[in-house]
Each structure stands twice: as structure tokens, then as C-alpha cells.
Amino acid sequence: MRAAPLPAEDDGEHPWDRKGVNPVYEPEEPTEATAMDEDTRARGRAGYGNLLIVFVLVFLLGVIGILVYGLYRQGGRTARSAPSPEAIVLTVAQEKVYLTAMTEYLCPCGSCDLVFIDCHCPTAQQVKLAAREALQRGASGPEVVRLLEVTFRAERLP
């Protein structure tokens, strides 16, 4: 498009302020089609708001689902991988041998200076479980002591 020539005298009005002179923007007269297009655009913009709400809700539900699944898996894994040593039932005689061995030997974990009966670290739990299983299978006191000294390298109290 070609721009209109500048006026010879300065009347305080910019040439582009006159209708039909601005090559970039020429306002159109509103028609029925233009009004319908504006109405359609307004409804489309409102649709984006609804779409955004749906997207945020789906995202939050996904995050909550992942968290619930992770907590469920973690709880299940912990319960299956570390059974409680006290869950193994022993006779009175076997329980006396167990308590004697657990009070005479130090935990070999290296992070504490406790006897097995007082320590609750994963190493102590593993040793307690192995000792109770051995006693349940019929091991004697000296066999449990050998298990502690040889297998777990536990040291006897001085």
C-alpha cells in the first residue's frame, strides 16, 4: 500500500490519524460476520479457562496417585523384608539361651556399643532373627554362640 502524501501546512494532525491513511491498520466497519467471529472468540477463550482447570485437576490427581502408590509400595516392602525377631516363638529353655547370648555379645554394626538385646539397628535385627531361627530349628547354646562369633563376628563382653 502506498502512504498518503504529507500536507503542505501543519494542521497538528498526523497523516496516519486520518481515515484510510494508515497502511498498517484500517478499522473495518462492524458487520454481522465480525460480531459473530468476536462472540466465537470470546467463547473459545472461556473454553481455555475450563481446559486449564481440567489440566490442573488431572495433574494433581496424578501426583496424589504417585504419592499413594509410593507409600503403599514402601510400607509393603518394609513389612516383608524385615520380619520381627520376636515373631518367632521359642520354648522357655530356648528363650533363656537366646537372652543369655544376646546380653553377652556386642553388636558388630560399628555405630553403637550396645549388646544385641538393647540395639535395634538393622544389623542387630538380622542377628536376632538368625539366632531365633537357629534355636527354633534345634540349635544348642554353643551353636548360637558360634553363629554370633563366626558368622556375624560379634565380640563377647569383657
The pLDDT value recorded for residue 152 is 87
Q: What is the CATH number of domain 85-156?
A: 1.10.8.640
Helices (H) and strands (E) in the chain, counts: 4, 2
- Residue bearing cell 534355636: 135
110 CB-near residues (< 8 Å, 6+ apart): none
Residues 85-92: contacts with CB within 8 Å, 24+ apart? 85/125, 85/128, 85/129, 85/131, 85/132, 88/129, 88/132, 88/133, 88/136, 89/136, 90/132, 90/135, 90/136
* Domain extent listing, the chain: 22-81, 85-156
What pLDDT score was predicted for residue 116? 85
As a whole number of angstroms, the distance between CA 49 and CA 61 comes to 19
Within a 10 A sphere around the Cβ of 66, how many other Cβ atoms?
A: 10
**pLDDT value for 62:** 93
pLDDT of residue 85: 80
Q: Residue 59: its pLDDT value, please?
A: 94
Place of cell 538393622: 122
pTM (whole model) above 0.75: no
Per-position pLDDT tens, the chain of length 158: 566 565 555 556 665 555 555 555 555 666 665 555 666 666 655 556 678 888 899 999 999 999 988 888 776 554 455 678 888 888 899 999 999 998 998 888 878 888 888 888 888 888 999 999 999 999 988 999 998 889 888 888 87
The identity of residue 106, as a single letter, is L
Secondary structure of 81-98 as H, E, C letters: HCCCHHHCCCCHHHHHHH
Instruction: Cell numbers for 97, please give them.
Output: 539361651
Residue 135 has what pLDDT?
92
